[in-house]
Structures are given as C-alpha cells and as structure tokens.
C-alpha cells in the first residue's frame, strides 16, 4: 500500500475530515490536556522533535510552544487535508519552529541520528504504521541518546511489550500516561523480524 498516494485520495481526506472533528473537539480539549501529555514525554526547549501522525494538530501547537524558538518540530502526516489544516494553524499562530511534512513516517527521508525525541501520540497501533517497519525507521532517525515517547489511546497492552521485544528500544518509564524508551543499539536498526502481538 502506498500511504503517501492514499493520503491524497479524496475519499481518505473526506473520512479524515470526519475523524478530525473528533480529534480537535471541545470535549477532547476539556477532558484532556495536551501539555500534560507532552510533559510526560520529557519534551524540552531547543530539541528537535518528530511528531508522527500529527492529524489536526492537537499536540502540534502546544509542542511547538514548549520547544521555543531554538527548537524544531517536524510534524508529519500523509493526509493532505490534515497537513493543510495544521499548516494554516501554525501560520495563524505565527510559529516559525514547525516544519510540516506530508509524508509516510515509514519512510521519513530524514537524516539518520538527527532527532532528539519522537512522539508516537495516538498513532500506534494503526494499520498503516506497522511497528515492525515503524520502529526501525524511528531508531534510525533518533540520536544515540534520543527518546521514543508513546501515548496510546486506546491502550493495548501488547504495544509497550512489543517495543521492548524489538531490541531497538529499552523502556525508561511511564509518566502522565506516556511510555518513554531510550534508543538502544543491542538490536541494530535493521532488525525488522520481531513479532508484534
């Protein structure tokens, strides 16, 4: 499946528009504080952060605010509707530390070891983001001391275990509902044959 082509299809973008209304609903904002979740990921000013599957930007704007003008946020999503929406919000907010990419996170095209923190917020498990392809790519782009932060909704127990079983990441802990992992070199970034249940 070509996720980037799919991201331009009219049907996918119509469906996304419906889903997007939930993603940025008032109820979600009322029930849920994105800043708290971002703090759980350990985000710090000045970092380079990759946000996988930014959707309508629920986490994008708060993350950009926390990174400050010396930070760099790469917000990535294959759906053109979402990317256009987030671009408009970022422009409206006058933020110049956000780079928005319409791209499949399985093939980010980013330089190796260039990212301090990867946010997988509300994106795993997802059919177009299989962990056995996503984790090696995240391992490749993260710096040696980089962090992978995962917030799961709904929270299937298998995902945190599968991440550790990949051998690519070692668990650091859990804070504000966010699991964090440090990049590990034991498995090697070419390891794709681990099983995910």
What are the residues binding ligand SAM (CB under 6 A)? 3, 23, 52-55, 58-59, 76-79, 82, 104-106, 121-123, 126, 128-129
Shortest approach of ligand SAM to residue 150 CB, angstroms?
Answer: 11
- Closest CB 145 distance from ligand SAM, rounded Å: 24
What token pair was written down for 128?
Answer: 């177009």
Nearest distance from residue 5's CB to ligand SAM, in Å?
12
**Which is closer to ligand SAM, CB of 153 or CB of 185?**
153
In the bound state with ligand SAM, the residue whose beta carbon lies nearer, of 55 and 62, is 55
**55: its two tokens:** 């959707």
Q: How far is it, in rounded angstroms, from Cα 160 to Cα 59?
A: 21
Cα–Cα dist 41/18, whole Å: 28
Token pair in block for residue 22: 């939930």
As a residue count, the chain comes to: 197
- Residue 2 or 111 having the CB closest to ligand SAM: 2
Helix (H) or strand (E) holding 98: strand 98-102
**Considering the complex, what minimum distance in angstroms separates the CB of residue 61 from ligand SAM?**
11
Question: For ligand SAM, which is the closer residue by CB, 31 or 144?
Answer: 31
Cα gap 124→127, rounded to integer Å = 8
Q: Considering only CA atoms, which of 171, 139, 178 is closest in space to residue 155?
A: 178
């Amino acid at each position: 499946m070509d996720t980037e082509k799919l991201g331009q299809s009219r049907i996918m973008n119509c469906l996304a528009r419906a889903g997007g209304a939930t993603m940025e609903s008032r109820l979600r904002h009322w029930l849920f504080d994105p800043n708290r979740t971002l703090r759980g990921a350990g985000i710090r000013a000045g970092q380079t952060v990759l946000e996988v599957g930014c959707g309508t930007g629920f986490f994008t704007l708060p993350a950009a605010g926390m990174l400050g003008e010396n930070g760099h946020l790469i917000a990535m999503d294959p759906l053109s509707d979402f990317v256009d929406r987030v671009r408009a919000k970022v422009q409206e907010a006058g933020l110049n530390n956000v780079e928005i990419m319409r791209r499949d996170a399985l093939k980010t095209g980013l330089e190796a070891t260039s990212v301090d923190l990867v946010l997988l917020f509300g994106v795993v498990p997802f059919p177009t983001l299989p962990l056995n392809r996503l984790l090696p790519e995240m391992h490749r782009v993260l710096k040696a001391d980089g962090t992978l932060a995962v917030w799961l909704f709904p929270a299937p127990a298998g995902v945190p275990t599968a991440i550790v079983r990949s051998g690519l990441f070692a668990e650091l802990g859990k804070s504000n509902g966010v699991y964090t992992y440090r990049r590990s070199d034991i498995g090697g970034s070419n390891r794709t044959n681990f099983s995910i249940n």
